[in-house]
Chain A
Amino acid sequence: MPAKSHVDFCLFVQILEVEEDRIPPELVAAIQSRNPAEIARTLDSLPTLRNIVDDQTNLHESIHIVQGVIYRFLRWYSLAAFQYVSDTFKQMDELTAAAQSVNATSLHSPIFSLLDMEWHIYDMSKRFLFWKYKPALGISITDQVPKGVKAKPLITLNTIDLIENAASLLQYKISTGNDFPTWIEFSRWAKRNPAYTRILEFVRDYLGDGNVAVRIFLDLVQVAFDTNRPVQAFAILLAAFKYNYDKGYLDPILAQRGHCRWIEIFDHYAGKMPLEKPEYGNLLSKRFFRIESDLGLRLGGKMTHPILGHFVTKWEKLEANDIAYRYAFGAPNGYSKHISEISELFHAPITLLKLTNEEQNFVSVIGNLRNTGVADADIDGTEITDIHLKGVLVGFMMMFGVVRRLVGALMDPDFRFCHHIDCPFYAQNYCNMWLFIPKKYDDCGFPRRFTELRGEWFGRPGTSSEFVLVVGNGPNATADFQERMGWAKLSN
């Protein structure tokens, strides 16, 4: 199955794959010329990307950029994960030597696998005869329930499942103009359009009401992503909601039509979670904590997230000055005024178009590079020129591509830009984010630039004490992570 359009959660570069039969003749001619300026001119002359990229695909992938900005966990994760990418790039020689010394076939990092780590949610409600007198959920990253614990498995999910289901519901609301669908309305749309619904269906079944599930889901997920463990927070908040819903305490709110600011309800529940002091420097922290809106974290003390940073800074100011922005994406049509003011969020600062013609690929960069964190970086008051900006971003993308291939995470293993199958570097695919595909692979600039960047890259001084890379196979990585996270019993 070929890789398709996607967004990664570390660098947040949007990659759109254009199907060959959707490329208009004028663009085909430009691609065949392999002249970047000519291709860029032709792309600019197209009335809209709609002609070449499916509308719904474009909208869905754009929503992930929005999520990267409005979900605090993703803001924190993407910045910290990029720091780890930088550390790994710096320590590549040591890591590969360590792997070779124990004949490891691959390297795994729990940090880079954090988003697709599976969590198991259990029903641990206490019952007496048929009477459920203490509703409770349990969560674990193992499917083995501890001895002596009675728990019924409910669902297995990961952080990306939450992101995708929320993106599909938001996509529905934006594309249909309906902020308050019934379950039936959403379900019909989801059957007629590719959509992620598994977690929504779980919430429907758990609450016993699909209409309530679609009303609360986006706000529930948004508040869960205010913590360093979104899946755990999701389970706690859902259990708290269920308790109050079953007791009828929420009936007056549910009776209201329109937007009910469920975020305030979930914020209230979140305030009662067993939260600890934040440990922002450690993505694998054993603590469970809430992430502040404005973290003020900077890479090297000078730069926000290299791609999303510009939008994040803007968003944090808007959210701090007008709380309505916090509610806006739960009902995007009702808050259309707010959304229109930040519509640029839907346009990724960097989108890479992979264009294929007659089995030859070409990568074109679209977007506004001035809307990136790199452009806003404070380099001792020195203005960053366009050429410098492009050079830094190309270097970051290359570094990210090399590291994600090295640790086998944050990428679809089938993904690559290049078509030169005879190239000696093709199979290794470390060049998966190298944008300049030459006519002949002998002319490729990747090996030279890689060597240069390895020589130039200093990263953080010393070795990061927080950096953990497990050498071995998958189960070892899971065991390490399991030891860190442990088993958590949640009750409300």
Chain B
Amino acid sequence: MGKTEQLTLSAGPETEALVNFIFKELSDQLVDQIDLKRVTPATGGVAREFITTGALLTLAPALALPVFRLIERWMETNRQREAVNVIYQASKQDKELMKTLAELEKRHSDLMIKYAGRVGSFQQRNKA
């Protein structure tokens, strides 16, 4: 299945710890199926220790839920100081997944999930 979904994560200074946790928990096979791009601030002309302020995961729809489950596990085992923000850009509307994510948000007050469709996908079609 193609990598059609995009998941943008940020957890303040603990973003890298969250990304690390997700990819260390996933099997090699699943890791290979997810593209990762880290967002880093400008270095100011020095070679600086890696700072991750955000992460963009591109993955197949079937992998979205396992990743959300890992985010939940990380939040349960880590007392992170900053809220975890997730923007999930789906290629098509999945009511079951939306319901699960809403429940997830309810259980964790410091987790904010924005469920959005890509431009030209279900959101626009819904409007029509």
Contact = CB atoms under 8 A, between A and B. Distances in A.
B48 A9 contact: no
Interface string B27-63: 0100110101010011111111111110000000000
Interface residues of A, number: 37
Contacts, number: 81
Interface of A: 1-9, 17, 57, 60-61, 64, 112-113, 115-116, 160, 163-164, 167, 184, 187-188, 191-196, 409-413, 415
30 contacts: A1-B41, A1-B53, A2-B13, A4-B49, A6-B48, A6-B49, A7-B47, A57-B49, A112-B45, A116-B44, A116-B45, A160-B43, A163-B47, A184-B32, A188-B32, A191-B23, A191-B34, A192-B23, A192-B24, A192-B31, A194-B20, A194-B52, A409-B44, A409-B45, A410-B45, A411-B44, A411-B46, A412-B48, A413-B44, A415-B44
Contact of A410 (B16, B19, B46, B52): B46
Contacts of A409: 44-45
Contacts of B19: 191
A412 B51 CA distance: 12
A163 B36 CA distance: 21
The contact size tier of chain B is 20 to 34
- 10 smallest CB-CB distances across A and B, nearest first, come from A194-B50, A4-B49, A6-B48, A412-B44, A5-B49, A191-B23, A6-B46, A64-B47, A192-B23, A410-B45
B45 A1 contact: no
B20 A7 contact: no
Given A8-B45, A116-B45, A196-B50, 13 more contacts: A6-B46, A6-B47, A6-B48, A6-B49, A9-B47, A116-B44, A191-B23, A191-B34, A191-B36, A192-B24, A192-B31, A410-B46, A412-B48
Nearest to A404: B45
Contacts of B48: 3-6, 412
B20 to A, nearest CB: 6
Nearest to B43: A160
A182 B16 CA distance: 24
A160 B41 CA distance: 13
A116 B44 CA distance: 8
Contact of B50 (A160, A187, A195): A195
B43 A60 contact: no
B70 to A, nearest CB: 13
A7 B32 contact: no
A58 to B, nearest CB: 10
B33 to A, nearest CB: 11
B43 A412 contact: yes
Nearest to A193: B20
Given A188-B32, A192-B31, A194-B38, A1 B13 contact: yes
Contact of A7 (B31, B46, B52): B46
A362 to B, nearest CB: 19
A66 B75 CA distance: 39
Given A60-B50, A164-B47, A194 B32 contact: no
Contacts of B51: 1, 4
B45 A160 contact: yes
